[in-house]
Amino acid sequence: MNANQEQSNWSELLIEAVNKPGKILEAYTAFHNYSFGNALLALSQCYGRNLKPGPLNTYNGWQELGRQVRRGERALTLCMPLTGKKRVRVEDSEEEKYEEQLFTLFVYRARWFVLSRTVGDMPYTIQIPDFDFETALQSLEIRRIEFDELDGTAQGFARARSIALNPIAQLPHKTTFHEVAHVVLGHTQEQQMVDTEATPRSIREVEAEAVAMICCEALGLGGAEYCRGYIQHWLAGEKEIPNQSAQRIFTAATTILKAGRKQ
């Protein structure tokens, strides 16, 4: 993957993660302080440069921690948001009025260096935070409700900002991530999402299943292989996960994993 692809093709990063078991866990272990898209982006660059994946910081950031970037090192590129203001005309006003609106642009900057390319007397270690489902649900303002779906094959469902799990769901944690993903992705704003073992082939289902796969594998939980099999099967056709959808998947997975971190 070249630099231009690294900076633009989130779909390719996602497909690569789907096809390579263990890559998501490695990315989360090394770069869990960053969004999942950036974690995979950083990992791909480490692979390409034969760098040991590990904690990231800027040149100045490492200096503040008592470490120095080795001479001649080339920074890794990550995607970062830039917020600005623009003047927008107020359409409903009879007079010619303008108001300021905030906007966010996502740009790519080469500013980060991995720990393995720094030197210094100050040691630096970082712990992977523990994840708790109930903490995540509370932070995301999602509540559990009684499972009342009549379809006996349904594993769970999401409704508005609520989720329900079949008491005999085969993979409770995977199904919980899947249903929470429906809510976080905004799917339940339009209709109730009911998921059976034979999940429908739709972009919404693929998005939710991809989020569940990322969360399961990042935390070392079982079920990722089930998700991976389904996603690979869906991708075997003519369709591909759109770049915009891949971005949504990475954002939702990041949101859920951060929401469940114990303080």
Which pLDDT value is given to residue 93? 60
Does the pLDDT at position 84 exceed 90? no
56, containing H or E segment:
strand 56-58
Residue 251 has pLDDT above 90, yes or no: yes
**187-224 residues labelled b (16+ CB within 10 A) or e (exposed):** bbeeeebbbeeebeeeebbbbbbbbbbbbbbbbeeebb
Residue 40 has pLDDT above 80, yes or no: yes
pLDDT of residue 1: 41
- Mean pLDDT, the chain, integer: 85
- pLDDT for 195: 57
DSSP code, position 103? E
Sequence-ordered alpha helix ranges (H) in 145-242: 172-184, 203-218, 224-235
3-state secondary structure at position 156 = strand
Contact 27, 44 (CB under 8 A): no
* pLDDT tens-digit readout, 194-210: 555 433 446 888 899 99
The mean pLDDT value for 210-233 works out to 87
Q: Which two tokens stand for residue 260?
A: 């469940």
